[in-house]
Amino acid sequence: MGLALAALPAWRRREGALSVALSRTPAARAAWPWWLLSLAAVIAGAFLRISQLRSQMLVDDEWHAVRMLIHADMTGIASHFGLADHCIPLTLYYRWLYDRAMLSEWSMHLPLLIAGVALLLAAPWLLRSKLALSTRAIWTGLLAISPSLVYFSRTARPYAVLALCGVIAFVAFRNWRERHGDGRVWACMYVVATFIAGWSHLLSLVFTLWPFAYYGMGDLRACIDRGTRMQALRSLRQLVVLGFLVSAPLALALGPPLLNDWGAMAAKAGANSATLESLYRTMLMQFGIAGAWLCAIIVVLFSAGAWRLWRSERELTTLVLSAAVVGGIAVLQRTPPEHAL
């Protein structure tokens, strides 16, 4: 009898654990198709990015880095943008391969391929606390078959790296601002992602630095109200500290090429040459379609999805959409290289 009474608590604990496991079974059964869809999307996306890449030759802008590494050493590459806008970190990597007789089309494409596949894993993982599993699974599928993202992952240009770093930078900044998890970790992730993106392509800073303007304007408005003034001032001080942490390495890396090639950079800024037709064609290209009616349907679906996400994650949605608008305007103000020559 005494042994039975002594074993009773342990039996109840096991019974409770079993009941908890059984209660989770329906949720687990409902979740596994979405996990399966996510896995299939990652595999399909990786296949689209890897297939026949070894036999792909360099074309068009991919030659900018090759021309630069032939005529310049490591110091010259790091201190100049060049008239054709080579990507400094990628060109340094190519020059390192070149000095060791290891430069090939495959080795040039490999970093972008890795970044493209990593985006399929990192993007849904970073937003796991914001989006439902079903939403993340469908989003992973759309990322996997995105024509532009597949193309970026297959070219020796920095755009796949920019896409990956842009997502990391926005989510890291948002989580740092919300104090979601370890703020120091998120701040470090933001600084690293923004630095890599900015060093790879100067225009990416319009997007990755936009959160400072977005939240800074909100804090300045809050300073008007006496009840929120102290909290807003603390937030502004934190923004200033993070801004210094991200601007210091950017200044060291981008200062020399900006000083050396300021004239060439200024020549590429001017009145934009975009038209409604070109904007429409750009939209078709991004969606990977050719018909106006299908484009209209996708725009409606996009708007409905953005509205639904805005209702649950209003600030995150507004931050991303406003960055897209401001960044798009900044891109339109840049004269294409062939017009600047």
> pLDDT tier at 50 (50, 70, 90 boundaries)?
very high
Query: What dihedral do alpha carbons 72, 76, 80, 86 form, nearest 10°?
Result: 40
> pLDDT tier at 84 (50, 70, 90 boundaries)?
low
Report the chain's C-alpha Rg in angstroms.
Answer: 24
Q: What percent of the chain has pLDDT over 90?
A: 44
Q: What is the mean pLDDT of residues 236-264?
A: 90
Quote the pLDDT of residue 89. Answer: 94
Say if residue 278's pLDDT is above 80. no
135 in Cβ contact with 82 (< 8 Å): no
Distance of CA 53 to the CA centre of its chain: 23
The larger pLDDT score, comparing residue 18 to residue 223, is at 223
Quote the pLDDT of residue 335. Answer: 53
User: How far apart are the C-alpha atoms of 304 and 298, rounded to whole Å?
Assistant: 10
Q: What is the mean pLDDT of residues 8-30?
A: 51
52-79: pLDDT as tens digits: 888 888 888 888 888 888 888 999 999 8
User: How far apart are the C-alpha atoms of 157 and 114, rounded to whole Å?
Assistant: 13
DSSP string, 272-293: ----HHHHHHHHHHHHT---HH
Q: For residue 69, which amino acid is it?
A: L
Using alpha carbons only, give the angle 297, 301, 306 rounded to the nearest 5 degrees. Answer: 145
196 in Cβ contact with 161 (< 8 Å): yes
SS3 269: strand
pTM: predicted TM-score of the whole model, two decimal places: 0.84
Say if residue 241's pLDDT is above 90. yes
> pLDDT tier at 324 (50, 70, 90 boundaries)?
confident
The larger pLDDT score, comparing residue 231 to residue 122, is at 122
User: 337, 341, 278, 320: which is closest to 85 by C-alpha?
Assistant: 337
Say if residue 7's pLDDT is above 90. no
Point out the least confidently predicted range of 48-62, 96-110, 152-166, 277-291. 277-291
Say if residue 90's pLDDT is above 50. yes
Contacts of 89 (CB under 8 A, 6+ apart): 158, 196, 199, 200
107 in Cβ contact with 97 (< 8 Å): yes
User: How far apart are the C-alpha atoms of 244 and 238, rounded to whole Å?
Assistant: 10
Q: What is the mean pLDDT of residues 183-203?
A: 94
Q: What is the mean pLDDT of residues 205-229?
A: 87
